[in-house]
Amino acid sequence: MLYKHFPKSGALSSALGFGCMRLPLTNPDDATSIDETEAIAMIRHAIDNGVTYIDTAYPYHGGASEHLVAKALKDGYREKVLLATKLPVWKVEKREDMMALLDEQLAKLQVDHVDFYLLHALNKERIEALRKLDYRTFLDEAVRQGKIRFPSFSFHDDYAAFMDILDDYPWAMCQVQMNILDGENQATLKGIEEAGKRGIGVVVMEPLRGGLLAQPPEAVRKVYDAFPTHRSPVSWAFRYLYTMPQVITILSGMSTMAQVEDNLRIFANAVEEPLSAQEAELYARVKATYDSCLRTRCTGCAYCQPCPMGVQIPKIFQGVDRAALQEGASFQEGYAKVVAEGGGVEHCVKCRKCENACPQHLPIVDFLSAFHQELS
């Protein structure tokens, strides 16, 4: 296992982190129906084999993730890891709410403190609202009381907003979306470099872009296969990130024990060495090939759910993209199932609640309108 130190705190973390947003389910249509036996076995197996960073959040799995993590970290496992969870800033209406929510989360996790406490999914509007509520004093007080060790934030907006937030508080860590396709999106590669210059460790989410990079289309596979060094697409995706000196930990939302095993094998052989010029060129070709095919940038995070009208936005968008990536494939069959479940695009009333919640800032309503015309 590759390990790295967070610059300011000196905390040592595995380069592979276990993200608890996509745990195995007993009912695929119910995000709260975590398969507890399997999920606990997966988390503990990862820890037994060197993973020392566990990431959860208030809304993950409809609020069930923190409860599950509490069970997984019993029997001495809590002492082996850095534990991260996140303040649901959208629930904060007054300053007292921040400490109340933290206390609620500590109770759910059955711990007296967490290591990293993140202000969740910050953007321009949210940081401005939190400034008015003096979030800095809250974080300082939570540290003083020993409830959190390292104040941090996760981010979904653009570079300008990222830099504004980055310089607003002496953060220990920032969590950003980054992968082969997103170098110029959200925080951007330049933003990651700026975080490094400030001694702020970077944790990466969506390294596989919601699984999209794990199962590339034939055109992308041909690009990989032509390269003299052979790796799996997942291994290539992780290598792109762990070679960055600013990136301390890469979160993987593992859903099966097989994924855990595969990731452990990859990071057992990971070496933090700069990309060669040939590898950088390879990634550029891979990105260009994906970009020529993709129609949306949906990662399947489901922040847009539930839709008030029941539209199954992630299923529709990811189905459209996967069909676009497979030559001769059609989304009609998959979409017929969505319609049968009452989640078709015809139910959209253009309220744009989904767009306000989307961390990718996708023009969801425009996409739905276009897909409705095509699918009709």
Domain of residue 240, CATH code: 3.20.20.100
Which of the residue ranges 44-48, 73-77, 265-269, 293-297 would you say has the lowest mean pLDDT?
293-297
Instruction: Give the model's pLDDT for residue 357.
Output: 86
Provide the token pair at 270. Answer: 């990971």
- The mean pLDDT of 275-294, rounded to a whole number, is 93
- The mean pLDDT of 288-304, rounded to a whole number, is 83
Instruction: Give the model's pLDDT for residue 102.
Output: 98
- The mean pLDDT of 188-209, rounded to a whole number, is 97
- Whether 45 and 170 map to the same domain: the answer is yes
- Whether 202 and 340 map to the same domain: the answer is no
Domain presence at residue 248: yes
- Does the pLDDT at position 44 exceed 90? yes
Task: Mark which of 244, 259, 291 sits at the end of a domain.
Answer: 291
Burial class (CB in 10 A: 0-12, 13-18, 19+), 258: exposed
- Whether 134 and 24 map to the same domain: the answer is yes
Domain presence at residue 296: no
Domain presence at residue 74: yes
- Whether 65 and 24 map to the same domain: the answer is yes
- Whether 54 and 20 map to the same domain: the answer is yes
Domain presence at residue 205: yes
Main-chain dihedrals φ then ψ at residue 187, nearest 5 degrees? -65, -30
Alpha helices in 158-311 (DSSP H): 159-166, 188-197, 218-225, 233-242, 257-268, 277-291
Please answer whether residues 154 and 120 qualify as being in contact, where contact means their C-beta atoms are separated by less than 8 angstroms: yes
- Whether 71 and 112 map to the same domain: the answer is yes
- Whether 254 and 166 map to the same domain: the answer is yes
Sign for the CA dihedral angle at 82, 166, 355, 298 comes to negative
Label residue 337 by pLDDT band (50, 70, 90). Answer: confident
Please answer whether residues 203 and 180 qualify as being in contact, where contact means their C-beta atoms are separated by less than 8 angstroms: no
Q: Could you report the per-residue pLDDT of 233-275, keeping only the tens digit for each?
A: 999 999 999 999 999 999 999 999 999 999 999 999 999 999 9
- Whether 231 and 334 map to the same domain: the answer is no
As a whole number of angstroms, the distance between CA 202 and CA 247 comes to 5
- The mean pLDDT of 11-35, rounded to a whole number, is 96
Domain presence at residue 297: no
Average pLDDT of the chain, as a whole number: 94
Domain presence at residue 299: no
- Whether 213 and 138 map to the same domain: the answer is yes
Domain presence at residue 359: yes
Task: Mark which of 291, 325, 345 sits at the end of a domain.
Answer: 291
Q: Could you report the per-residue pLDDT of 123-132, keeping only the tens digit for each?
A: 999 999 999 9
Instruction: Give the model's pLDDT for residue 327.
Output: 62
Count the domains in the chain.
2
- Whether 256 and 320 map to the same domain: the answer is no
User: Global pTM?
Assistant: 0.86
- The mean pLDDT of 156-182, rounded to a whole number, is 96
As a whole number of angstroms, the distance between CA 72 and CA 42 comes to 9
Domain that holds residue 364: 313-375
Domain presence at residue 54: yes
Instruction: Give the model's pLDDT for residue 248.
Output: 98
Task: Mark which of 236, 258, 291 sits at the end of a domain.
Answer: 291
Instruction: Give the model's pLDDT for residue 178.
Output: 97
Please answer whether residues 113 and 143 qualify as being in contact, where contact means their C-beta atoms are separated by less than 8 angstroms: no
As a whole number of angstroms, the distance between CA 331 and CA 296 comes to 14
- Whether 338 and 281 map to the same domain: the answer is no
- The mean pLDDT of 135-140, rounded to a whole number, is 98
